[in-house]
Structure 1
Amino acid sequence: MPASPRHALRSLAAPAALCAALTGVLAAPAPASAAPTTPAPAPAAAEATRIMPLGDSITGSPGCWRALLWNDLQEAGRTSIDFVGTQGPQGCGVDHDGDNEGHPGLLATNVARQGLLVGWLQATDPDVVLMHFGTNDVWSSVPTATILDAYSTLVGQMRAANPDMRIAVAQIIRMDSARSCATCAQSVANLNAAIPAWAAEQSTDRSPVVVADQWTGFDTDTDTYDGVHPNAAGDRKIADTWLPVIDGLLDTAA
């Protein structure tokens, strides 16, 4: 029997309602997704601490204690360091960062008076200075007090370049009077005896000045090749003495 018109209308209305419902579902806006997050920036790599070895021919030409010291620091885990200076590597047969500020023949008093360090500091921007200076001053009969005045001038120049400069000053290695000057051995002893008190007066919490005792235990017969400059054994002793001093200075970094 054919469907009644009323029944037919009901049958047509059901699919239409289902279609409208589906259309509403499809047209409904999608739920808002979570806002994208910005990745946290990676922590900046720590800048290497810049260390200037400063002095005369005992520091340069070739100053192979620097090569030993560099590798000692690497082996001790002090890898975020950079030796700096306007003078480049001078051999030594060991891979190392050879930049330095060792100038053969120079006197600390002349460097201070002529302001030479100012330019070297501007060129290299060190955080730490290792200073073994005064051998040529002693050889030139410059009085201890005058050398210490020069040291004070150099420290002032370092702090003008970097108020947070960390400074290590060596009691310089021994000199053999028979192979240098007649008064050299005693003059070195006099200078070295005065350095600790001078350093204590100069040191501040912000810019410490510490002493490296390169004099005690150094033997001009076994540790130099000419009574003044270190041989391989002397280089080893110098590096060994610098290492704990630098460790202490690196640990004072902010």
Structure 2
Amino acid sequence: MLRFMPVGDSMTIGSSGEHTWRYRMWQHLCATYGGPFRIVGPREALHDKMTDTPTSYAYADPDFPRAHLAGWGEGWLHMAPLITETVRTHRADVLLVSLGLIDLGFYTDADQTAENVRHFVAGARLGNPRVHMVLLPVIPNIRAESDASFAAQVTRFNELLAKTAADLDEPRSPLLLASPPTSYDIHRDTYDGTHPNESGEHRIAAAFADTMHQAWGLGEPYSRL
């Protein structure tokens, strides 16, 4: 049985009333994978914006495996120290990782963030030497439209992420860089310039699904765009 673990920030945990891209990915895997699988992770809740805490279970459709390792305001900096024990405990086989925007926005510059990616990858492999990882580049948000220095950091980090993925890829523990979500438009695919709405959820899920299909022959291409 293949065990998938979504890892991410606010775009992955989602907030009250949302489906999340995790839900879209689960639907896709159910329809196309063709084998037993599980969604795993230590957390299940959404972020509650009213209380600013990860305590909501008000999913648009709660009837799906809601496990994840994601948090509002958390990035590579926060997940790297957690990943070894989390991968080991939940026996994760495939990590679907969407991190970096919050790091660049509040905590670390592009080079420091890329160094934390390396710590994360090393930690994940301590938890499971054969773990597979798919890394999503940072999607520039509305801040990048008006803040040139932030936009430059996003571009720089995505270049470093691609180099890191190439440098650290190895046969027993493949490391894939996903392509950016197809035709993603923050004015159409988000509700606030950062967080995905329904179409954005599908596009993020598609980026992961299509990468795994192309590289590993896993499932089928994503069809709900």
- The TM-score bracket by the shorter chain reads 0.7 to 0.9
**Residue 163 (structure 2) pairs with residue 201 (structure 1):** no
The structure with the largest alpha-carbon Rg is 1
Q: Which residue of 2 aligns with 1:221?
A: 187
Q: Which residue of 1 aligns with 2:136?
A: 170
For the 8 Å contact 1:131–1:170, the answer to whether it is kept is yes
SS in 1 for 2:5: strand
Matched residue type, 1:60? I
Of 63, 79, 95, 1:111 maps to: 79
Q: Which residue of 1 aligns with 2:125?
A: 159
> How many Å separate the matches in 2 of 1:247 and 1:77?
10
Of 217, 220, 244, 2:210 maps to: 244
Provide structure 1 residue ranges, at least 5 long, that are not aligned to the other structure. 1-47
Q: Please give the per-residue CA displacement for 1:128-166, whole angstroms capped at 9, x wherever unaligned.
A: 111111111111162111111101111101111111111
For the 8 Å contact 2:189–2:198, the answer to whether it is kept is yes
SS in 2 for 1:171: coil
Q: Which residue of 2 aligns with 1:6?
A: none
Aligned pairs, number: 203
> How many Å separate the matches in 1 of 2:32 and 2:190?
27
**Residue 68 (structure 2) pairs with residue 134 (structure 1):** no
For the 8 Å contact 2:76–2:116, the answer to whether it is kept is yes
Q: Please give the per-residue CA displacement for 1:91-129, whole angstroms capped at 9, x wherever unaligned.
A: 1326422111111111312332xx222332233110111
Matched residue type, 1:56? D
TM-score, structure 1 normalization = 0.72
SS in 2 for 1:130: strand
Q: Which residue of 1 aligns with 2:9?
A: 56
Aligned pairs (5 A) from 1:61-72: 61-62=14-15, 64-72=20-28
> How many Å separate the matches in 1 of 2:147 and 2:107?
9
Q: Which residue of 2 aligns with 1:4?
A: none
**Residue 49 (structure 2) pairs with residue 93 (structure 1):** no
> How many Å separate the matches in 2 of 1:164 and 1:95?
30
Provide the identity percentage. Answer: 26
Q: Which residue of 2 aligns with 1:146?
A: 112
Matched residue type, 2:21? W
TM-score, structure 2 normalization = 0.81
**Residue 197 (structure 2) pairs with residue 231 (structure 1):** yes
Q: Which residue of 2 aligns with 1:39?
A: none
Q: Please give the per-residue CA displacement for 1:52-100, whole angstroms capped at 9, x wherever unaligned.
A: 1111111112471111111111111434111111111541326422111
> How many Å separate the matches in 2 of 1:228 and 1:159?
30
SS in 2 for 1:167: strand
> How many Å separate the matches in 2 of 1:184 and 1:94?
36
Higher relative contact order (CA 8 A, sep 6+): 2
Provide structure 2 residue ranges, at least 5 long, that are not aligned to the other structure. 47-58, 219-225
